[in-house]
Amino acid sequence: MAVSGTISRVGTLLRARRHGEAAQLLAAAAAAGEPDALAELAQWRIAGDVVRRDLAAARALLARAGASGKDDAALLHAYFLASGTGGPADWRGGLAALTALVPSEPRAAAQRRLIDAMDLDADGFPRNPPAVRELSARPHVVAAEGFMTAAECAYLVEAGAPALQPSVVVDPATGRMVSHPVRRSDAAMFGVYSEDLVVNALNRRIAALSGTRPGQGEPLQLLRYRPGGEYRPHMDALSAEANQRIVTVLVYLSDDYEGGETNFPRTGLSFRGGAGEALLFRNAAADGRADPMALHAGLPVTSGVKLIASRWIRERSFTYPPPRPLVDI
């Protein structure tokens, strides 16, 4: 697809490190209604590295770009509506926007097929709460068989696989995400760009399972453990964290592997779910303090590939802090 003259000039200014001029040119073109500029400025407002992050502005820009014929922007706008990114969550509006793209956009058609197979209410939540069986009282651990269908598991694997990268952990000294031998796996995050309506509906299902709101969750992750891959004993609760990770939900996406059980060494509980089965455990007590009994590990995979979806759920709504922009506009 040809790059517009404005976008080309903006790129030239960026390469010359003339960030302020690039931002002003792009903003002026977007204000004039140029579709490419609207879509590009929306991306800048989401990223927040050149100009200040402003998800509400990004949502409005995506709507305008989509109305101007930019299908990628229209699709992302549908995601923002459903997830509540940059404004109130509007599942019905997001689904309507997605449906309008079905004739021209294969990604929208694929999502709509999966959504149509789900038993959802008008707001995208499951009509019936998932059935669970208790595995442990402390830490509180439950399993939900058939939590996801084979088609839903396959969708997450296919959607997330291209973005898989070596996993990281939180450095307690700095709060930054760093590589560490405690965790040998690959991970991909379904963040703001990739929380499509299928992922959003699954996040709503996880919220129903955990008795929380979707906005309390960190982004859903796809995790891949090859032979020898493991996550050594660790706590998901974070030290000195005001907005604690209170619950973890794992969904097993494959079962053609050996080893890889989820193990709680202080209680002796060890669990290996079948494909589509969910495991939920509480990481913290009612007062928000980490529960030492929730120490757990992903034991080494001895053969095959273990694939799971993972979501950490916070005590309150959660968003990542924005980066410091080069231009404060």
- Domain spans of the chain, in order of start: 5-116, 133-314
Q: pLDDT by residue for the chain (329 residues), tens digit each?
A: 566 899 999 999 999 999 999 999 999 999 999 999 999 999 999 999 999 999 999 999 999 999 999 999 999 999 999 999 999 999 999 999 999 999 999 999 999 999 999 999 999 999 998 999 999 999 999 999 999 999 999 999 999 999 999 998 777 667 677 777 789 999 999 999 999 999 999 999 999 999 999 999 999 999 999 999 999 999 999 988 899 999 999 999 999 999 999 999 999 999 999 999 999 999 999 888 999 999 999 999 999 999 999 999 999 999 999 999 999 89
- Closest Cα to residue 310, out of 191, 218, 201? 218
Please state the CATH superfamily assignment of the domain spanning residues 133-314 in this structure: q2cbj1_9rhob like domain (2.60.120.620)
Residues forming a β-bridge with 298 = 231, 262
d(CA 74, CA 264): 44
pTM of the model: 0.95
Cα angle for residues 196, 43, 311 (degrees, 5° grid):
35
Residue 161 structure tokens:
């696989």
Beta strands per DSSP E along 106-215: 133-136, 141-144, 165-166, 169-170, 177-178, 183-184, 186-190
Cβ-Cβ contacts under 8 Å for 157 (sequence gap 6 or more): 222, 253, 254, 307
DSSP string, 223-251: EEE-TT-EEEEE-SS-TT-SS-EEEEEEE
pLDDT at 287: 86
Q: Decide if 66 contacts 182 (C-beta within 8 A).
A: no
The CATH fold of domain 5-116: 1.25.40
Q: How many residues does the chain have?
A: 329
- Closest Cα to residue 93, out of 193, 200, 190? 200
